[in-house]
Structure 1
């Protein structure tokens, strides 16, 4: 179900957690063969205002298997009548995304680049985007290669380690011409490494925190492909200001990308839009050819298409000149960053954190009714307030999802336990 779809009021929420549990019994533990509840892989199921949160112990599963299990749990939960949204919280020993990482003091903006699967050109896009942003002589830009299983940024930029440390013990990023770069590939020196659970979390968070980025206008983060635990850890802990998704035009790729979009939205990360890679090519005869069946990507993902990249050597050229398509992408990203912007919260915002659920609903609807047309209502909550926004629609006699019912509607996650909602009547 889409993020802002409203579940019919006649679907009861009483016993919803138990109905979700019953549905999850159809998901098999890949190691033990029994259902995920019997095996203990699912550790907790909780429901809050039609939002289901499933705790899952993914310890010992390799990354692709963990992704498959996560997606199976999410699909099964969303198929339960009465469920509006479902999130999976992977558990690993002695690690987790309990605390958000403060952004490096000198870094203004962090942009994540992600893809639903490998092979769609995500690293090429992220690296070219960083180069294009750095082409502005007035801006300092860096790139953080967080793809632990395929750290290819050093290869694309022709960089070599080892990484040195400064006097404070922080890692010095490698100079890559107009930008600076850090990657686990610069530390491992192409040696094969097995990342799992706590190791993966620590590798991402510590390398991000312990790099001496200096003063940067923008830091581009190349995330691993998929929707697995490492990506979720990054979304919940790194201070990401906006995300760019990468997909090919193929319907399967677009469908998978929609799941990535849902994951980002569930974790309060603003989506800047999608880069459609390998759109087609022009042969020597001058005719244009499609590589994949065409798909209306913008309509399918409900996100703007930032750039269409052809299947062309110039897109993969990391020489002195930045491809014009990458410069076009950089302009589109800047525009979208300005559009989504951070939500500044005024002192008079309604703070519902820590209050009992009935009091939250009562206060939110009462104060929202008291706002004047054209006035913006701000609300702070300790979890996603999107379901509460649906109640605000009815509180003022409107209909439809909040994004359609109100002049302006936005939800942002600013910390693991701090969400802000802004609604303009």
Structure 2
């Protein structure tokens, strides 16, 4: 007697993966060559998430066709969806995916407590309910892991991308969690490559905010991130000293020159707490001295030994003066992030970003067919060209494009909302 029990999605997925192992690409198959970031199956739809940036266009198109064939040849699969592993990456020299807002924290002067502020702020934002990540960009003296009790090593996904370490709910990536050979004299292109490998390629998992702890000074690492990463805003940290102000002004000028909005100036280790401060002044004049155009005025963070161990801080109303100041700073940053609104793309939109051209056009047509003629698509570059090519393909199949609305989503690309109608149906008498 034949077993007619429907197969589960997991069983169908295993069958699909077995089929893909029969596909020949490069010197092996897509699984063995680590060209598939993910394979998922749900309700008869298989989604292949492909690492296209390791292939040229010809091989990318061929692989897409072969994966589509392997999927449709599997019992239980009605529709194949091809997505790019870096689909969400904004168009920048150092793209970052899986993050709604990217905030840099910097000061050209060392010793102002910038890393402590970063770690404490991460904990405060996490306590407020946000999904938080921290990237330690200080390739010369990475200290974030110690402050957040993050333990390595950073491991790679099957496609070779760094997987952040979990530190009590906060995702962390730092060279300190990878390097085992001691100090390295990082220079120029080396710095760019390591930042791309660790920040741009990391598999950040749906984070509301990613804090980037910049190294002191204005060197290669700072220039690379400020000029090439898709920063939404920045915090400037300074102690209430003339040297601190002069140094932080230089960092602020770099942000401004690269159109990165300054959220605010954080006066740190001021003499407004219960502990004596090594610096003079309460820091309230620093905003005017460093960047009077900052989006928000930030109350000083007093010199407070409790902040030396951010993982032990509560950031509650009954906390120490430093903890309360960081909690207030967290509210300011959370408000800034909320004002950015996150992604403007509808969750149900089909993501065509990052696909090779022919695959993009073919996927648009097959999505329209699968959705019975009404679909939302996300794409990069020239949406009118995609509309024209889709319309030509539809006409050849006896359909026509009835509606095509285009919305510019800025760094996210373009949103296309398309609706089709059968030419035979439209020609039928009422």
* TM-score normalised according to structure 2 size: 0.53
Shift of 1:246: 0.5
What's the offset of the Cα at 1:189? 3.6
Map of 1:263 onto structure 2: 254
> After TM superposition, what 4+ stretches of structure 1 lie above 6 angstroms from structure 2?
none
**Are the counterparts in 2 of residues 107 and 217 from structure 1 also a CA contact under 8 Å?**
yes
SS in 1 for 2:302: coil
Q: Deviations over 1:298-356 (max 9, x none)?
A: 211213442311111122222343333222111011233456779x9xxxxxxxxxxxx
Question: 1:297 corresponds to which residue?
Answer: 286
For residues 4-59 of structure 1, the C-alpha deviation after alignment (integer angstroms, 9 at most, x for no partner) is xxxxxxxxxxxxxxxxxxxxxxxxxxxxxxxxxxxxxxxxxxxxxxxxxxxxxxxx
Q: What residue in structure 1 maps to residue 128 of structure 2? A: 136
What is the CA distance between 1:258 and its match in structure 2? 1.2
Matches within 5 A, 1:126-275: 126-137=118-129, 139-189=130-180, 191-275=182-266
- Residue-by-residue CA offset, 1:218-273 (whole Å, 9 max, x unaligned): 11111111122321111111111100010001122112211111110001111101
Q: Is this contact kept in 2: 1:162–1:187, CA < 8 A?
A: yes
Mark the runs of 5 or more structure 1 residues left unpaired by the alignment: 1-97, 345-413, 416-425
CA contact (8 A) 1:154 1:183 kept: yes
Q: Say if 2:139 and 2:215, in contact at 8 Å, map to a contact too.
A: yes
Q: Is the 8 A contact 2:101 2:337 kept in 1?
A: no
How far does the alpha carbon of each residue in 1:359-406 deviate from its partner, in whole angstroms, 9 at most, with x for none? xxxxxxxxxxxxxxxxxxxxxxxxxxxxxxxxxxxxxxxxxxxxxxxx
Q: Is 1:249–1:279's contact at 8 Å kept on the other side of the alignment?
A: yes
Other structure's SS at 1:259 match: helix
1:121 is aligned, of 113, 117, 140, to 113
Change in 2 beyond 3 A, CA 1:290/1:187: closer
* Deviation at residue 293 of structure 1 after TM alignment: 4.6
1-structure distance, mates of 2:120, 2:181: 22
SS in 2 for 1:188: coil
SS of the equivalent of 1:102 reads coil
- 1:289 & 1:206 partners in 2: Cα distance? 39
Alignment length, in residue pairs?
A: 244
**2:240/2:281 contact within 8 Å kept:** yes
- Aligned residues of 1:309 and 1:315 also touching (Cα < 8 A): no
State the distance in 1 between where 2:340 and 2:100 align: 15
Q: Partner residue of 2:19?
A: none
Structure 1 residues 240 and 254, CA gap change in structure 2 (3 angstroms) = same
- C-alpha RMSD of matched pairs (Å): 2.6
Matched, 1:103 2:96: yes
Q: Per-residue deviation at 1:282?
A: 4.6
CA offsets, 1:88-111, max 9 Å, x none?
xxxxxxxxxx9522221x211111
Distance 1:283 1:108 in 2: 37
Q: Which runs of 5+ in 2 are unaligned?
A: 1-90, 315-322, 345-409, 412-430
In structure 1, the residue matched to 2:336 is 336
- In the alignment, which residue of structure 2 is the partner of 1:91? none
The DSSP-based 3-state class of the residue aligned with 1:182 is strand
Shift of 1:215: 1.0
Q: Residues 277-297 of structure 1, C-alpha deviation per residue, up to 9 Å, x if partnerless?
A: 11026558xxx7672256611
| C-alpha distance in 1 between matches for 2:207 and 2:216 | 25
